[in-house]
């Protein structure tokens, strides 16, 4: 089931595109025309966003049948159909661009996520997504990242405590920040450390989840050796497809990658429609 935030976003996208009505379709297509359409991949991709596709048609009405031929997380090859829909030709045409926009964006996220997840296979490391998401699309993009095979990090500022460098500065130090966080909440606590002294202080204070940022793979391995299993370690900061495996092999438990959501390119998906009685395209 889609979260209500996601449903609101889909309604907004439909309203933004259709406005007072699809004037082209109204002018060219009679109201009683029925049609079938299908979605197909134009490039290799990992599918995501099928719940959104269903919601688009549920919101607009006028659709008799939607058949999903694949599930989120499936690998789709060029030319492969993954969904078919039957209903009012006007509805299918007016929903086309919104449906494609969501599918292309979310499948793009899932495709990049799969690339990262495959790179660390055979190590203990898992890839995490981040909060670097498109405003308003966080839940959808995190669902897409999960479909691609990575682990969802916190959804927002409310479901886990992540003490970053600015929090440490504002609190007066690593110990002060950790003690204040423990006193205030029972939520999981992760803390970022920037220097070896901060690393040692965090471990001395009983930190169980450390974030090490902007280290080289060699530096990361040295710091992880110091940790020696006393805490789980997440690495972040400019980690790419070229370097993710190196960081995983340095001994990280997790590697977080903002690029999964903030830089994933939309994939190429097409929608083809045929009115009943016409020759198939």
In-domain check, residue 228: yes
Is 192 an active-site residue? Answer: yes
Based on the domain organization, do 239 and 269 belong to the same domain? Answer: no
The answer to the question of residue 77 being in a domain is yes
What's the domain range around 219? 151-256
Q: Which of 96, 192, 198, 234 is catalytic?
A: 192
Whether 172 is covered by a domain: the verdict is yes
Residues 249 and 270 in one domain: no
Question: Is residue 80 included in any domain, yes or no?
Answer: yes
Query: Which of 81, 131, 164, 194 is flagged as catalytic?
Result: 164
pLDDT recorded at residue 104: 98
- Do 9 and 109 sit in the same domain of this protein? yes
pLDDT of amino acid 183? 97
Catalytic annotation on 132? yes
- Return the pLDDT at 106: 98
What number is the average pLDDT over the span 199-204? 98
pLDDT of residue 242: 98
Confidence of residue 205 (pLDDT cuts 50, 70, 90): very high
pLDDT digits (tens, 9 = 90+) for 76-104: 999 999 999 999 999 999 999 999 999 99
At residue 187, does pLDDT exceed 50? yes
| Domain assignment of residue 176, yes or no | yes
Q: Please state the pTM of the whole predicted model.
A: 0.94
19 found inside a domain: yes
Q: What is the CATH number of the domain that holds 211?
A: 3.20.20.70
- State the SS3 of the chain: CCCHHHHHHHHHHHHHHHCCCCHHHHHHCCCCCEEEEEEEECCCEECCCHHHHHHHHHHHCCEEEEEECCCCCCEECCCCEEEEEEEEHHHHHHHHHHHHHHHHHHHHHHHHHHHHHHHCCCCCCEEECCCCCCCCCHHHHHHHHHHHCCECCCCCCCCCEEECHHHHHHHCCHHHHHHHHHHHCCCCEEEEECCHHHHHHHHHCCCCEEEEECCCHHHHHHHHHHHCCCCEEEEECCCCCCCHHHHHHCCCCEEECCHHHHCCCCCCEEEEEEECCCCCC
97 is catalytic: yes
- Judge if 36 and 72 occupy the same domain: yes
Given a cut of 80, whether residue 261 has pLDDT beyond it is yes
Same domain? 92 vs 195: no
- pLDDT for 165: 95
Same domain, 8 and 105: yes
State residue 279's pLDDT score: 41
Residue 121 lies in a domain: no
pLDDT single digits (tens) 138-179 = 999 999 999 999 999 999 999 999 999 999 999 999 999 999
Residue 41's domain is classified under what CATH number?
A: 3.90.1170.20
Q: Which of 213, 222, 246, 268 is catalytic?
A: 213
Which is catalytic among the residues 11, 34, 97, 126? 97
Is 179 considered catalytic here? no
Residue 159 lies in a domain: yes
* Domains identified in the chain, total number: 2
To the query of whether residue 124 is one of the catalytic residues in this protein, the response is no
- Co-location of 271 and 244 in the same domain: no
Check 11, 131, 132, 175 and give the catalytic one.
Answer: 132
Averaged pLDDT of the chain:
96
When pLDDT is cut at 50, 70 and 90, the band that residue 281 belongs to is very low
């Amino acid at each position: 089931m889609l979260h209500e935030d996601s449903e609101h976003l889909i309604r907004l996208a439909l309203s933004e595109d259709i406005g007072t009505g699809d004037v082209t379709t109204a002018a060219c297509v009679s109201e009683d025309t029925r049609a079938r359409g299908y979605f197909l991949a134009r490039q290799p991709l990992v599918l995501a966003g099928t719940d959104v596709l269903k919601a688009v048609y549920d919101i607009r009405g006028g659709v008799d049948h939607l058949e999903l031929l694949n599930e989120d997380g499936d690998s789709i090859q060029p030319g492969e159909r993954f969904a078919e829909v039957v209903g009012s030709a006007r509805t299918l045409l007016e929903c086309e661009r919104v449906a494609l926009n969501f599918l292309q964006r979310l499948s793009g996220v899932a495709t990049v996520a799969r690339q990262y997840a495959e790179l660390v296979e055979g190590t203990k490391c898992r890839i995490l997504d981040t909060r670097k998401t498109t405003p308003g699309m966080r839940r959808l993009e995190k669902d897409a990242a999960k479909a691609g095979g990575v682990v969802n990090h916190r959804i927002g500022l409310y479901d886990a405590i992540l003490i970053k460098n600015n929090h440490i500065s504002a609190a007066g130090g690593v110990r002060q920040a950790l003690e204040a966080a423990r006193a205030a909440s029972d939520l999981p606590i992760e803390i970022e450390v920037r220097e070896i002294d901060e690393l040692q202080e965090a471990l001395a204070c009983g930190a169980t989840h450390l974030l090490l940022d902007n280290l080289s793979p060699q530096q990361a391995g040295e710091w992880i050796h110091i940790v020696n299993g006393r805490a789980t370690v997440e690495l972040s900061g400019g980690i790419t497809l070229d370097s993710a495996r190196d960081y995983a092999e340095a001994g990280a438990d997790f590697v977080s990658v903002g690029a999964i959501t903030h830089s994933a390119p939309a994939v190429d998906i097409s929608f083809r429609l045929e009115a009943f009685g016409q020759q198939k395209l």
